[in-house]
Amino acid sequence: MAGITLTENKDIMIANRLDKLIRNTGFNGNISQLLDEIEHNKKFTTEFINTFTTNKTHFFREDFHFVDLRDRVLPMFEKLNSEIKMYCSASSTGEEPYSMAITVKEFSSTLRASIVATDIDTEVLQYAVNGVYRFQKSSKEFPEWIKPQKYFKRRIQKNLIGDEILIKVNDDIKSMVTFGKMNLNDDEYPFDDEFFDVVFCRNVLIYFSSEDQNKILKKLFRLLKIGGTLYLGHSESPQDLINHSKRVGQNIFVKQRNIL
């Protein structure tokens, strides 16, 4: 289905999430009966997938990737006066693709850019589309070169904790990002080969088996243009792509040739 791999030491987490699934669906039966409905009658499959996806993220996570995007990649497109097309392959609640968009705007207000962001979890996709986030003013979530007030509007909200505020992504940033549902474990992706100039695939491969990781990476690599950049999470390996790309930074790879 989703291809997510859960090891044996996750038993307690799995049990807790199955209990949550029964509560959320209002299913009148036990866990075994619910799983039978999912497997054989395809009921509650969306709810099941949403329950088992992990969505830990924040703005400008591993910010050195956004510095590389700003300092190395974007100047090439500004020089060519060309639009840059980017893909965020596991967008979660939206912080990553919005960070990509903010990086573009911080670099240039006139550079044309479009970002496609997908996730398998429909709940987090809706959260991302809404673009409203809790933010602690004392946090170091944004790097020093970003001024959040340029890209977010503050919203008035009661019952917040400490120095917490609500911030909403500005419309000009939201307009750069298109969100959609997609399963990285699908056999085919709904994009043309060599369509994107940049692909972010960070901190999601760790939830797949090593074999599935390699398959996903190859499918993503086909979407990337020659000379395009692939960003991976800090604990993720390029696997077979290492022979077809050039490492230019910390888990930053430039595509040199296609995989036959």
202 CB neighbour count, 10 Å cutoff: 23
Task: Write down the pLDDT at residue 6.
Answer: 47
pLDDT in tens, 83-112: 999 999 999 999 999 999 999 999 999 999
When pLDDT is cut at 50, 70 and 90, the band that residue 235 belongs to is confident
Task: Write down the pLDDT at residue 164.
Answer: 82
3 Cβ contact list (under 8 Å, min separation 6): 183, 184, 185, 208, 209, 212
Whether this model's pTM surpasses 0.85: no
Task: Write down the pLDDT at residue 100.
Answer: 98
Q: What are the phi and psi torsion angles at 39 (to 5°)?
A: -75, -40
Higher model confidence: residue 225 or residue 20? 225
pLDDT at 188 over 70: yes
When pLDDT is cut at 50, 70 and 90, the band that residue 206 belongs to is confident
Task: Write down the pLDDT at residue 8.
Answer: 52
Distances (CA, A) of 28 to 17, 24, 33, 63, 138: 17, 11, 9, 46, 45
Sorted by where each starts, the structural domains of the chain and their CATH numbers stand as: 8-52 (no CATH), 64-130+172-255 (3.40.50.150)
pLDDT at 34 over 60: yes
Q: Mean pLDDT for the chain?
A: 86
| CB crowding 223-235: b at 16 or more within 10 Å, else e | bbeeebbbbbbee
Strand ordering across the sheet containing 224-232: 177-181, 113-119, 84-88, 196-201, 224-232, 252-255, 245-249
Q: Which secondary structure element, helix H or strand E, spans residue 174, and what is its range? A: helix 171-174
Calpha distance 83→67 (Å, rounded): 19
One-letter amino acid for residue 192 of the chain: D
Task: Write down the pLDDT at residue 245.
Answer: 97
Instruction: Please name the residue that has the structure tokens 């987490």.
Output: 13
Query: Helix, strand, coil proportions of the chain in percent (round to 5)?
Result: 40, 20, 40
Higher model confidence: residue 15 or residue 60? 60
When pLDDT is cut at 50, 70 and 90, the band that residue 140 belongs to is confident
Residue of 244, 187, 231, 215 whose CA lies nearest to 67: 231
